[in-house]
């Protein structure tokens, strides 16, 4: 995005809108990946799981997604799943509609289905593919989205490559070097995003990095930045990985994004992971990037984080004068059903049930 897009995002925050929107466009997925947060039993709060939701297709899906974009007026829209490419015909209709509404759409996929090259030929569209490790791990974890299939399905495209680092990848010292070497050298790769596995509170899983593995990963970040120019990393990324936001209330990404599941009504809270994410072990690439940016000094002691939070206060005040159905729920509630944490709100179970009944505007 350009400077003008940042200014636009600021303007939308001031007017009371969420700058980011995430939509799980389908409950379906042909993969069965270990540790997938979308199919975690607590992803939607514990009352229902993703596969039990009603979802949409055809005109109903197209108009439902476009309706949410109209409602929230975001700058950026992430179309996720499930596997969103299951609805690739609808996405081919949705993407230009989102662009017409002034937002940048991104499809997050396993690339198990062919990505239309015309999507990524459009400078407003981004496609991010999840490739979790080298073939020795990825092809087992994410079958049928194997390397062979991915490379065939992204041919002629320009894509972002997203890696979630898990503990088995840290068992070999040069494992990630080999991964970055491969994807940095691919013509199709626009940029490489790095996350670490983010568990739920109390979760015990083989994917979780040990403290020693996390320390070694952080130590290597500066070297990787120099060696692999497509690796999207900030100077303070190591700091942010070592000390991620302590709660959703302190996470810029969580506070700036509205997240919907496949019925286009159920809200995913408190962030895209849903459930009760263990923030002290958060390794979300977007959260880490925004955490870095909020510490960027604008002038003197004034940081970008102060600027964003001040803008959110103004946007929250502006929301008082907007129709109820157009207000971002996470900023707007101020009654007994809401527990305020800093500048944002985390809703209790009764408030979330109300959100599930919100109709698409």
Best CA proximity match to 343, nearest among 352, 328, 331: 331
pTM: 0.83
Residue 124: the pLDDT is 95
The 10 Å Cβ neighbour count of residue 88 is 16
Token output for 58 = 């055809």
**Digit-coded pLDDT (tens) for 291-345:** 766 655 555 665 555 555 555 565 455 556 555 544 444 544 333 222 323 323 2
Q: State yes or no: pLDDT of 191 exceeds 80.
A: yes
Helix or strand or coil: residue 253? helix
Q: Predicted confidence band at 197 (pLDDT cuts at 50, 70, 90)? A: very high
β-bridge mates for residue 192, sequence order: 161, 231
Q: State yes or no: pLDDT of 4 exceeds 60.
A: no
DSSP summary character for residue 172: S
Burial of residue 273 (CB within 10 Å: 0-12, 13-18, 19+) is buried
Cα–Cα distance, 27 to 225 (Å, whole number)? 36
**Digit-coded pLDDT (tens) for 269-293:** 999 999 999 999 999 999 888 776 6
Residue carrying structure tokens 């991620």: 244
Superfamily grouping for domain 3-356: Aldolase class I (3.20.20.70)
**Digit-coded pLDDT (tens) for 252-267:** 888 889 999 999 999 9
Question: Is 100 in contact with 69 (CB distance < 8 Å)?
Answer: no
**Digit-coded pLDDT (tens) for 10-45:** 555 555 567 899 999 999 999 999 989 999 999 999
Question: Is 183 in contact with 159 (CB distance < 8 Å)?
Answer: no
Q: State yes or no: pLDDT of 347 exceeds 50.
A: no
Residue 254: the pLDDT is 87
Token output for 3 = 């400077």
**Beta-strand pair 257-260/20-24:** parallel
Tell me the mean pLDDT in the region 89-97. Answer: 98
């Amino acid at each position: 995005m350009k400077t003008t897009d940042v200014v636009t995002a600021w303007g939308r925050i001031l007017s009371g809108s969420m700058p980011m929107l995430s939509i799980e466009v389908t409950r379906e997925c042909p993969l069965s990946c270990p540790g997938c947060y979308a199919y975690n039993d607590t992803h939607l709060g514990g009352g229902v799981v993703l596969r039990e939701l009603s979802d949409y297709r055809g005109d109903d899906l197209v108009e439902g997604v476009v309706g949410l974009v109209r409602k929230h007026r975001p700058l950026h829209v992430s179309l996720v799943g499930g596997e969103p490419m299951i609805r690739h015909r609808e996405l081919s209709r949705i993407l230009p509609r989102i662009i017409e509404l002034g937002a940048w759409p991104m499809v997050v996929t396993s690339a198990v289905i062919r990505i239309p090259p015309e999507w990524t030929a459009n400078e407003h569209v981004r496609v991010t593919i999840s490739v979790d490790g080298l073939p020795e791990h990825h092809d087992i974890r994410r079958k049928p989205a194997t390397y062979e299939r991915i490379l065939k399905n992204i041919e002629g495209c320009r894509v972002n490559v997203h890696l979630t680092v898990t503990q088995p990848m840290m068992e070999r010292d040069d494992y990630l070097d080999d991964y970055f070497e491969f994807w940095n050298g691919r013509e199709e790769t626009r940029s490489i995003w790095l996350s670490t596995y983010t568990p739920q509170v109390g979760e015990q899983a083989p994917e979780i990095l040990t403290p020693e593995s996390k320390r070694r990963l952080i130590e290597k970040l500066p070297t990787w930045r120099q060696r692999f120019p497509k690796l999207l990393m900030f100077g303070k990324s190591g700091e942010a990985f070592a000390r991620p936001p302590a709660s959703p209330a302190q996470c810029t990404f969580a506070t700036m994004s509205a997240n919907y599941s496949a019925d286009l009504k159920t809200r995913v809270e408190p962030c895209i992971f849903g459930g009760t994410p263990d923030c002290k072990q958060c390794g979300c690439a977007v959260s880490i990037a925004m955490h870095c940016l909020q510490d960027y000094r604008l002038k003197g002691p004034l940081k970008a984080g102060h600027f964003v939070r001040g803008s959110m206060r103004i946007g929250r005040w502006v929301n008082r004068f907007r129709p109820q159905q157009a207000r971002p729920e996470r900023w707007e509630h101020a009654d007994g059903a809401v527990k305020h944490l800093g500048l944002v709100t985390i809703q209790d179970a009764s408030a979330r049930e109300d959100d599930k009944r919100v109709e698409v505007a």
